[in-house]
Structure 1
Amino acid sequence: MASSPPDPWAREYGEAARLADDVGAMVAVGGGGGGPEAMRHASAIRRKITILGTRLDSLEGSLSRVPPKSITDKELHKRQDMLSNLRSRAKQMASSFNMSTSANREDLLGQTKKPADDMSRVAALDSQGIVGLQRQIMKEQDEGLEKLEQTVLSTKHIALAVNEELDLHTKLIEDLDDHVDGTNSRLQRVQKKLAVLNKRAKGGCSCMSLLLSVVSIVMLVVIVWLLMKFL
């Protein structure tokens, strides 16, 4: 007994669910502190979350374009529930990741100082101390800018990764279009061959009928001649 072909929607949902598992595992592990390794880990999580959101939108669009009566209402509601649960899970993971990122933001950009704190630091200093404090503040600002630059570069890497993923999807769609066009061309050639064979088959039947008619007439003439000769 031949097995039924795989359902494209179910296959795409399975890929999205596996991607969600990967994101959940990466969020649970965390960035392992600071440094470039943590930034790369965070960038990978952001990229996967973006891709997951794109796939969920694609699944939702496919589900909304399901032809009537192609699946039962029960199956449609089941798929809608599955998609809703997976989207809720993705939102929870994204929220957890954003909270973790916000908690580490002070490590990246430095703690936010209030004006009252700055005034209290300046109040007890003389001119030389104020100059030293200004130099310290400038040094902290330079360090903050360096960390901000690293964050911008990390964001750039995320954008490049997402762009590569979109290019891959575009290429896959173009390849699918080429396959569809090739299949359509082959189908048209097969239809033309079938039409020729059908025409030839009809012509062969007509010739056979004509031949049988001629043979029958000849036999009838022979029989009539024999009857006239011997009677």
Structure 2
Amino acid sequence: MLPTAFCRSDKELHKCQDMLSNLRSKAKQMASTLNMSSFANREDLLGQSKSTDEVNRTVGLDNYGIVGLQRQIMKADEGLEKLEETVLSTKHIALTVNEELDLHTRLIDNLDHHVDLTGSRLQRVQRRLAILNKRTKGGCSCMCLLLLVVAIVILVVIVWALIKYL
């Protein structure tokens, strides 16, 4: 246990042995506490321990078999890494599509606003045209148009006669 060089008398030797046994019991308590908590946390995080499954898979394998198993596990890890890259790429594409959709939503909202403004302007113009139409609906407008058509026909006949006889 302890060398007698550290403990000079029997009294000191018993005292050192007591201290040593106390330290050992405290170490065992701490180790058991740590082991219990680490197993509990591990099981909470990872579920049941799979070490027995791993041991069962390697039972009966020689060194080459274990190396082959490790290579299979490494290939699976590489596949998972490729899957992770694909998922990250898909995430970036989804974020880009989301930004593009936000841009298009803003553009459509802007277009909708401009359509509303144009619609209200068109309604104002239609109201003004309706008022103008009511003012000109009397027989005067039809008569004026008829007189203008007759005047244009007369002018065309005069111009044609002047060109023919001159």
Higher Cα Rg, which structure: 2
Q: Which has the higher contact order (CA 8 A, sep 6+)?
A: 1
Q: TM-score, normalised by structure 2?
A: 0.42
